[in-house]
Amino acid sequence: MTAVVRIALVAGEASGDLLGAHLIAALKSRLPDAVFYGIGGPRMQGQGMDCWWPMGKLSVMGYWDALKHYREIAGIRRKLKKRLLEQRPDIFIGIDAPDFNLDLEAGLKSAGIPTIHYVSPSIWAWRGKRIRKIARAVCRVLALFPMEPPLYHQAGIPVSYVGHPLADSIPLETSRQAVREKLALPRALPIFALLPGSRQGELGAMADTFVQTARLIRERYQPDAVFVVPLATRETRLQFEAAIHRCQAADIPFRLLFGHAQDAVGAADVALVASGTATLEAALIKRPMVITYKIAKFSYWLMKRMAYLPYVGLPNVLCGRFVVPEILQDEATPDNLAEALNKLYEDEEAATAIEAAFTDLHLQLRQNTAEKAAQAVIECLN
C-alpha cells in the first residue's frame, strides 16, 4: 500500500450516496490520509470526496429512461475509466448502480486495480447470467441482505455480509405519539403516510393516483383522516402540489414535508409507499403499508418476463413471503389502493403480525454496516 491511499468510488443514487458517505467516514477513521474521488452525491462530498461528475447524471428510472440517456451515460463511463486508468487508485468501490459499475469494474480489474461492488445486484430476483458477469468484474461483493452470501459462495465469488445501514440508524421502536407531537399532528386521528417516490419520474407516474387515493380514504373517514407526504426536493413538491390542483383536492388535509420520510411513516397508522428503499424504511419503522409502483409499460413487461420471485417489494423479498400487499402497474388504481389501505388501518391483528415480522427482519439487518464494510475494504487493500 502507498503512504496515501487513493480510493475511487461511484454512486448513482441517493441511497448509494448515503452508503458511500458512511463508508468514507468509517475508512477515514482507519486511514486518515486517504483521498477519495469519483462520482458521488452531496453526502459523499460532505465527507471530503472529490466528485468529478454530478451523481444525478447516472440516476435513471426503468429501461426506457436508461435507453434515452444511454449515450450520455456511456460517454461518462468511458471518460471515467480512462481517467481512473491514468490515475490508478489503490481500490475502486462501485456502490450499487450495477448497469454502470459492473462494466467499469471489469475494465479496471483486468488492468490490475482491485474492485469491490457494494450492494449486491439483485441476483436473487432475476433470471439470467449476471452472476458470471459479477465474477469477472469484482474482487469482492459487500452484501446488504442475509440471503445473498450463499449465492456468491456457490459461485466462488468472495463476499462479505455487512447488513443494511438503515437498520443501524433506525431505532428498534418508533413511538407514533412522539413523532406526531414532533410534527404537530393530531394524536388521535387516523394518519396515512403517502410516499410517492423521490424522483421526478416517479412523481409523474404516481402523484395523481396518490391524491385520488387520499380522496377516497378521506370520504370513508370524513372528516378525520390526515395525509402526510414527505417530498425529497423542491421539484417533486411542486409536482405533488400540481397534482392536488389537477385533482381539485385542495379540501383534503395534506401535510407536505421537505424530506422527513421516516418521521412521516413513524407518525402514520398506515403508509402507501412507492416501491424502493422507502419500503425498507417503512418496514424498519414497523408500520403496515401497501407497496405500489407504476413504470413504462415496456419496462414493466420486461421486468415481469425476467423476474422469478412473486414479489417486488424489498420487505416481502427479505421476509420470503407477502407480509404486506403489493398493488402494481395497471392494478394500482385509487379504488384498489384505498381499499387495501382501509383494510390495513382497520385490522389491528394484521398490524401486530406485521410488526412482529418486521422486528425479526430489523434484528437480522442490524450489523454495524459501515464498520463491517470498511473492514472488508481494508482487507482487500492489504
User: Across the strands, what pairs with 9?
Assistant: 38, 93
CATH of the domain spanning 176-365: 3.40.50.2000
Contact at 8 Å (CB) between 331 and 95?
Answer: no
Alpha helices in the chain (DSSP H): 14-30, 42-46, 62-68, 70-87, 98-110, 130-137, 149-155, 165-169, 176-182, 200-220, 234-246, 261-267, 277-285, 297-306, 314-319, 334-346, 348-365, 369-381
CA dist 11 and 255 (Å) reads 32
- Residue 35 makes CB contacts below 8 A (sequence gap 6+) with 4, 5, 6, 7, 50
Mind listing the pLDDT tens digit of every residue in the chain (382 residues)?
457 999 999 998 888 898 999 999 999 999 999 999 999 999 999 999 999 988 876 765 554 455 566 677 788 889 999 999 999 999 999 998 888 999 999 999 999 999 999 999 877 655 446 888 899 999 999 999 998 999 899 999 999 999 999 999 999 999 999 999 999 999 999 999 999 988 888 888 899 999 999 999 999 998 889 999 999 889 999 999 999 999 999 999 999 999 899 999 999 999 999 977 899 999 999 999 999 987 766 566 656 655 656 778 899 999 999 999 999 988 999 999 999 999 999 999 999 999 999 999 999 999 999 999 999 999 999 8
* pLDDT at 184 (0 to 100): 96
Contact at 8 Å (CB) between 137 and 120?
Answer: no
Instruction: Give 4-20 pLDDT, tens digit per residue.
Output: 999 999 998 888 898 99
* pLDDT at 127 (0 to 100): 46
CATH of the domain spanning 6-163+367-381: 3.40.50.2000
Question: Which part of the chain has CATH 3.40.50.2000?
Answer: 6-163+367-381, 176-365
What is the full DSSP assignment across 257-316?
Answer: EES-HHHHHHH-SEEEEESSHHHHHHHHHT--EEEEE---HHHHHHHHHHB-SS--SHHH
* pLDDT at 376 (0 to 100): 97
Contact at 8 Å (CB) between 102 and 137?
Answer: yes
